[in-house]
Amino acid sequence: MRKPALYSRSDRHRTPLAAIGGAAVDKVDGAPGGDDAAPERTVSAGRFLALRRFTRSPRALWLAWGLLAAALVVGVGVNQRLVPRPITQQDIDAAVLRTLTTQPLPSAAARAAEMIRPAVVRVTSLAKNRQGEEVETGVGTGVVIVDKGLILTNLHVVQSAPIVRLVFADGSESEATVRSVQVEHDLAVLQAATVPDDLQAATLRSSHDLKAGDAVVAVGFPFGIGPSVSSGVVSGLGREFKSPEGEQPLRNLIQFDAAANPGNSGGPLITMDGEVVGIVTGILNPSSHRTFVGIGFAVPIESAAAAAGMQPF
C-alpha cells in the first residue's frame, strides 16, 4: 500500500502570505476576517517602517534634538514670565524717582495748609436789630486746640458780641460761648456748643526756636473769604504793636510778612510742618484803609496756650 504523502509538492494549497498576515491571523484573534482589516494593518506597518527610516537618519535626529531644545527654551521663558521676580530696593528707588520726575508735588505751603485745615474755624459775631433779625457785626478766625470744642481766637473778634457763631471745616455750625479772656494778649477762648464727631485739634509748637527768615503760613478768613492761605517768612521777633482800637500795646510779638487782612485775626500762624507757633492778632495800618502793607503780628503760642489754661512749653 502506498503511504500518503506528508507534504504536497503542489503550490495549489499553499496559503498566501497576505492571508497569513491578514485573514488567518484575524481568525486566530477572534476578529472577523476579510479585506476590511488588511488596510489598517498595512498602514500601521508603513508607519513603523517610516519611523525606523527616520531614526536611522542622522540629519533627522539632529532636527528632532533641535526641536526639543527649542521647546525647552520656550517653556523656561514662559515659566519665568509666570513666576514674579522679587521686588528689590533698586526697583522701589526707581519707582519713587519716576514719580518725583513725572508727578508734580504740592508746595510746602500747600502741604502745611492742608494739615491745619481741619482745625481752622470761621468765627462770626452777631447782634439782633430792632426787627429781631441777626446781623453780622464782625468776622474773624479761630483754631481748634482741644477736640472737645475749645477754640482760640482774638478778643477783639468776639468782644461784646451777643451771639458768637462758628463754622467748622466740614461745614457744620455751632454757637459758642466765651470761656476765658486774656486782655494783655488780645486772646479769647471759646467753647463750641455742638462739636463735630471728627473734630481735629491743631498741633501747637513752641516759638522759642523761631528765627528771622523761617517760612510761615497764615490761614484765615480775610474779609470773610476763605479759608484763605498766604505764605511768607518771619520778619522779626519780640516786636511791640498797638492797634488803633487797642488800649494797650501788645508785646513780644512775632512779626511776619505773609499777607493778612481784617478777618485773619485769631487765625493760626503755622510752620511748614503745619504746627501752630502763633495767633494772628493785627496788621500795621499806616493809613485808614486797613489793608495789608507787608507787616503782620502774631501772639506767640506760649501766651495763647496759657490763656487756655494749658501747660506752657
Tell me the catalytic residues: 156, 186, 265
User: What pLDDT does 255 receive?
Assistant: 97
Helix axes 58-82, 38-56, angle to 10 degrees: 90
Average pLDDT of the residues in 183-211: 93
Distance (Å, rounded) from C-alpha 165 to C-alpha 103? 41
pLDDT digits (tens, 9 = 90+) for 76-107: 555 555 556 788 888 787 887 777 677 677 89
C-alpha cell at 136: 453780622
Strand partners, 215: 233
Q: What is the DSSP pairing of strand 250-256 with strand 228-241?
A: antiparallel
Say what the pLDDT of residue 207 is. Answer: 92
- Cα–Cα distances in angstroms (integers) from residue 233 to residues 134, 217, 268, in the given order: 39, 8, 14
Which is more confidently placed, 221 or 22?
221
Of the segments 14-18, 49-53, 135-139, 283-287, which one has the largest average pLDDT value?
135-139
Domains of the chain, CATH where assigned: 18-82 (no CATH), 114-307 (2.40.10.120)
DSSP at 21: I
- Provide the pLDDT for residue 25: 42
pLDDT, position 306: 74
pLDDT > 70? residue 303: yes
Q: Which pLDDT score, from 0 to 100, does residue 61 have? A: 64
At residue 83, the pLDDT reads 59
Q: Tell whether the model's pLDDT for residue 279 goes beyond 60.
A: yes
What integer is the mean pLDDT of 38-54?
53
How far apart are the two ends of the chain, measured CA to CA in Å?
Answer: 146
Q: Please write down the HEC assignment for all residues of 183-239.
A: HHHCEEEEEECCCCCCCCCCCECCCCCCCCCCEEEEEECHHHCCCEEEEEEEEEEEE
pLDDT higher for 236 or 103? 236
Query: pLDDT tens digits, residue range 109-152?
Result: 999 999 999 999 999 999 998 888 889 999 999 999 999 999 99
Task: Considering only residues 57 and 160, tell me which one the structure prediction assigns the higher pLDDT.
Answer: 160
Which range has the worst mean pLDDT, 51-60, 62-71, 256-265? 51-60
pLDDT at 229: 96
